[in-house]
Amino acid sequence: MISVQQALHIIDTTVVPNRIKKVKIAKSLGCILAEDITAPIHMPSFRQSAMDGYAIIWSESAKYTLTDEAKAGDAQDLSLKPFEAVRIFTGAKVPDQADTVVMQEHVSKIEHDLSINIMPNKGANVRPIGEQVKEGDIVLKKGSVLNEAAIGFLSGLGLTKVAIYLPPKISILVTGNELQKPGKPLKPGKIYESNAVMLQTALKRFGINDIKTFKAKDTLKATRKSIKKALKFSDIVLISGGISVGDYDFVKEALDKNHVDEMFYRLNQKPGKPLWFGKKDHQFVFALPGNPASVLTCFYVYVLPILKKFSGLTAYHLPQIQAKSATAFKNTTGKTLFLKAYYNGEDVTILQGQQSSMLHAFASSNVLVKIPENLENIAINDTITCIKLDGHGS
């Protein structure tokens, strides 16, 4: 049996993102960059006017003669002598000799004679070459999230495609002879199967949509075959049930038969003690204990960080906060506890119904309180650590 800390460390150091794809920039919103981006050009790539006005060679004089015009998009190189001015518009190429653009609001004009009423500083309103980025600069780092600003920025550099990390493909495998699909009256001895849909929707919340679901009866043959099929499809396999020590728990043996190497099994935690994690080449398998609250707790604490890390995110654990406890609590188990709780913005109430078979309290919780294995007494107003759950509570 290993500690929660050891398990998290194994997971942190085992998984690296490895699904990379080049996609059109317009299709990359919310994706994680899988490459450093180097600017292919200076930006701007020529000296640009930042204003509508007049380009001049700066001098003490206020009098200039208008000689020509430069619009945005014009390609020609206009020449300019001292005391001459070129009518210029925002974004247009500034003539090479000109060093300053005077905004039109500060100029009086009679035919070709210009009089500058407010002379700006030398160099004003001219965007130098490479002012924003220089050719060859690394402008966005691997691991950055591509938001609309980044998409606009990269398009402005002329790029059309980027390499991104793809989220993992997931297989969910639910095991158990007792499982019945909801929708019909419950048969004797059966329970409604609920872990698959819970995991599917949790995955979807975090942007993972490539999901296949499999079922297996409690036999070694069925479990082994289903694991084989699940491994064929996916990067990460999530198995529910069959990992404890009962006579009809075949998942561990079936994983072994499929050559999935165990990284850890059994954690000093409640709920979710029989959690199993393993690896086959670049694929990962979690065998989650079947009790619904164990499944979801293990999902938030162990599976979700891996999904995020695999997808290229660098902040991959759920956020934690410290809050005052509104509940007195005793931990006599010597295990790390993850307790369903409700945080109202001021203090946190540990809810009734913590058993791993019960989801009722989970449904009205918005945090999981994490109590370390060696902490025995929580008094009211003690500060406790809470893992925030997205989409739970209000």
Among 44, 242, 271, 278, contact with ligand AMP (rule: CB under 6 A): 242
Q: What are phi and psi of 156, to 5 degrees?
A: -65, -25
Return the one option of ligand AMP, Mg ion, none that residue 240 interacts with (CB less than 5 to 8 A, by type): ligand AMP
Between vectors from CA 217 to CA 211 and to CA 222, what angle results, nearest 5°? 80
Residue 292 contacts which entry, ligand AMP, Mg ion, none (Cβ below 5-8 A, type-dependent): ligand AMP
Among the listed residues 191, 315, 363, 380, the single contact to ligand AMP using CB under 6 A: 191
Q: 275 and 1 in contact (C-beta within 8 Å)?
A: no
Q: Which of residues 333-362 bind ligand AMP (CB under 6 A)?
A: 357
Contacts of range 181-187, beta carbons closer than 8 Å, 24 or more positions apart: none
193 binds ligand AMP (CB under 6 A): yes
By CB under 6 A, the residues from 10 to 69 that bind ligand AMP are none
Q: Taking CB positions, which residue lies at the least distance from ligand AMP?
A: 290
Q: Phi, psi (5° rounding) for residue 262?
A: -70, 130
**Residue whose entry in the numeric block shows the structure tokens 């004009």:** 109
Nearer to ligand AMP, 193 or 235 (CB): 193
Please, which residues have CB within 8 angstroms of residue 27's CB and are 6 or more apart in sequence? none
DSSP per-residue codes, 275-309 = -EEEEETTEEEEEE-SSHHHHHHHIIIIIHHHHHH
Paired strand residues for 270? 337
Mark residues 150-179: x for contact with Mg ion by CB under 5 A, - for none.
--------------------------x---
CB of 195 to Mg ion, least distance (A): 11
Q: Which stretch binds ligand AMP (CB under 6 A): 50-58, 63-71, 182-190, 237-245?
A: 237-245
- For position 240 contacting ligand AMP by CB under 6 A, the verdict is yes
The residues facing 108 across adjacent strands are 115
CA distance 146 to 125: 31
d(CA 9, CA 222): 33
Residues 256-295 that bind ligand AMP (CB under 6 A): 289-292
Structure tokens of 145?
């999230």
**Of the two residues 195 and 269, which places its CB atom closer to Mg ion in the complex?**
195
The phi, psi pair for 18, rounded to 5°, reads -145, 5
Q: Does 241 bind Mg ion (CB under 5 A)?
A: yes
Return the residues of window 119-178 that contact ligand AMP according to CB under 6 A: 174, 176, 178
**CB of 284 within 8 A of CB of 263?**
no
Least CB distance to ligand AMP at residue 215 (A): 9
**241 near ligand AMP (CB under 6 A):** yes
Among positions 125-154, residues that touch Mg ion (CB under 5 A) are none
Residues of this chain that interact with ligand AMP (CB under 6 A) are 174, 176, 178-179, 191, 193-195, 240-242, 244, 246, 289-292, 357
What are the residues binding Mg ion (CB under 5 A)? 176, 241-242
